[in-house]
Amino acid sequence: MSGFWENEIVETTAYYSVAVLCIIVFLSIFELVTKYKNWEEIQNGNLSVAMATGGKIFGIANVFKYSIEQHDSLLQMMGSGFFGFLLLLLGYFIFEFMTPKFKIDEEIKNDNRAVGFVSLVISVGLSFVVGAGI
């Protein structure tokens, strides 16, 4: 049975499945901390929410990319990915804290594309920093 888990296709499928499941779970957590409903806003054509959500998806996936590259086991990969997600979430709160003149969530919900784009870039940029540290 140990040969089964060492098969490249099985290993890739396992990493892929865990990463996709984690992206879904982590996006759900982001949905809980934001003041808007991501998928409702995206369905209504809110490009700012789409950019911010896309940045979060890319950021989480990028952290898992680095985690997969650096670890030999699925459990280690998941641990690093979870830690990376927590750092991305912390980055979200820091972004909100660093802009006291306006509320990030309200601006994104109101389709302020400049704020949505900055949110995207922060998520993507931090994912590279977090990934390099894993």
Which residue, among 113, 98, 86, 67, has the nearest Cα to 26 in the 3D structure? 86
Question: Are the C-beta atoms of 26 and 60 separated by less than 8 Å?
Answer: yes
Q: What residues make up the domain containing 63?
A: 2-133
Question: What φ, ψ does residue 75 adopt, rounded to 5°?
Answer: -65, -45
Tell me the chain's radius of gyration from C-alpha atoms: 16
Number of compact structural domains in the chain? 1
The 10 Å Cβ neighbour count of residue 112 is 17
Residue by residue, pLDDT tens for the chain (134 residues) are 566 667 889 888 999 999 999 999 999 999 999 989 999 999 999 999 999 999 999 999 999 999 999 988 889 999 999 999 999 999 999 998 999 888 999 999 999 999 999 999 999 999 999 999 98
DSSP 111: T
What pLDDT is attached to residue 71? 87
* Three-state SS sequence of 19-72: HHHHHHHHHHHHHHHCCCCHHHHHHCCCHHHHHHHHHHHHHHHHHHHHHHHHCC
What pLDDT is attached to residue 7? 82
pTM of the entire predicted model: 0.89
- DSSP letters spanning 63-101: HHHHHHHH-SSHHHHHHHHHHHHHHHHHHHHHHHHT-TT
